Amino acid sequence: MSTAKDVRKLACPICGKAVIWSTENRWRPFCSERCKLIDLGQWATEKYRVPVSKTEPEQSLPDEQ
């Protein structure tokens, strides 16, 4: 059983509303289904991207003759 001291509140990443971080919050880390779907839409339209570091192209092997 959790006590008042154990309650963790975070800000919803979309709207900033305080969200209790617990297993009872079905939308965590979001405050609602609406905010969760907004976030999903951001990923789907590629407004969020995972950064990729550019690497040197691999040297090609000489053709076998």
pTM of the model: 0.63
Task: Provide the pLDDT confidence category of residue 61 given band limits of 50, 70 and 90.
Answer: low
Residue 14 and residue 39: Cα distance in Å, rounded?
7
CB 48: neighbour CB atoms within 10 A? 11
19's enclosing H/E stretch is strand 18-20
Q: Which domains does the chain have, with CATH numbers?
A: 7-44 (3.30.50.10)
Residue 64 and residue 50: Cα distance in Å, rounded?
38
Residues 13-25: pLDDT tens digits? 999 999 998 889 8
Contact 36, 30 (CB under 8 A): yes
